[in-house]
Amino acid sequence: MWGRIEWNPIMDILLQIAIILICLFYGARKGGAALGLLGGIGIVLMTFVFKLTPGKPPVDVMLTIIAVVAASATLQASGGLEVMLQGAERVLRRNPRYVSILAPFVTCSLTMLCGTGHVVYTMLPIIYDISIKNGIRPERPMAASSIASQMGILASPVSVAVVSLVAFLAKAPVNGHVIDFVGLLSVTIPSTLAGVLAIGIFSWFRGKDLDKDEEFQKRIADPEQRKMVYGDGVTLLGKKLATGQWTAMWIFIGAIALVAVLGAFQNLRPLIGGKPLSMVLTIQMFMLLAGAFIILFTQTEPNQIGKTEVFRAGMVAVVAVFGIAWMADTVFEAHLPELKALLTELVKTQPWTYAIALLLVSKLVNSQAAAVSAMVPVGLAIGVLPGYVVAFAAASYGYYILPTYPSDLAAIQFDRSGTTHIGKYVINHSFILPGLIGVGTSCLAGFLLAESFGMI
DSSP state of 274: T
Q: Which amino acid is at 186?
A: S
Angle at 119 (CA atoms; ends 115, 120), nearest 5 degrees: 120
Residues 149 and 407: beta-carbon distance below 8 Å: yes
- Check whether 309 has a pLDDT greater than 90: no
DSSP assignment of 122-186 equals HHHHHHHHHHHHTT--THHHHHHHHHHHHHGGGG-TT-HHHHHHHHHHTT--BTTB---HHHHHH
How far apart are alpha carbons 181 and 426 in whole angstroms? 38
Q: Which amino acid is at 116?
A: T
What is the share, in percent, of the chain residues with pLDDT greater than 90? 42
pLDDT, tens digit, 9 for 90 and up, residues 35-53: 789 889 999 999 999 899 9
Give the predicted TM-score (pTM) of the model.
Answer: 0.79
Burial class (CB in 10 A: 0-12, 13-18, 19+), 237: exposed
CB atoms within 10 A of CB 214: 8
How far apart are alpha carbons 253 and 71 in whole angstroms? 11
- Under 8 Å CB-to-CB from 90, ≥6 apart: which residues? 237
| 289 band by pLDDT with thresholds 50, 70 and 90 | very high
DSSP assignment of 50-81 equals S-PPP----HHHHHHHHHHHHHHHHHHHHTHH
Higher pLDDT, 402 or 436: 436
- Check whether 1 has a pLDDT greater than 50: no
- Check whether 3 has a pLDDT greater than 60: no
Helix axes 368-381, 309-334, angle to 10 degrees: 20
| 317 band by pLDDT with thresholds 50, 70 and 90 | confident
pLDDT, tens digit, 9 for 90 and up, residues 362-411: 887 778 888 888 889 888 888 889 999 999 999 999 989 877 777 888 88
pLDDT, tens digit, 9 for 90 and up, residues 189-220: 999 999 999 999 999 999 999 999 999 999 89
Angle at 132 (CA atoms; ends 130, 133), nearest 5 degrees: 65
Least confident of 337-346, 423-432, 446-455: 337-346
pLDDT, tens digit, 9 for 90 and up, residues 91-141: 999 999 999 999 999 999 989 988 878 778 878 888 999 999 899 999 999
The per-residue pLDDT of the chain, averaged, comes to 87
How far apart are alpha carbons 423 and 134 in whole angstroms? 25
What SS3 state is found at 272? strand
What's the average model confidence in pLDDT over 5-32? 74
- Check whether 260 has a pLDDT greater than 90: no
DSSP state of 242: P
What's the average model confidence in pLDDT over 2-24? 71
* Residue 250 CA to its chain's centroid (Å): 24
The predicted pLDDT at position 6 comes to 47
* Residue 446 CA to its chain's centroid (Å): 16
For residue 39, what are the CA distances in angstroms to 109, 281, 327? 33, 27, 6
pLDDT, tens digit, 9 for 90 and up, residues 217-226: 998 999 888 9
| 30 band by pLDDT with thresholds 50, 70 and 90 | confident
- Check whether 305 has a pLDDT greater than 50: yes
For 275, the enclosing helix (H) or strand (E) is: strand 275-276
The predicted pLDDT at position 32 comes to 67
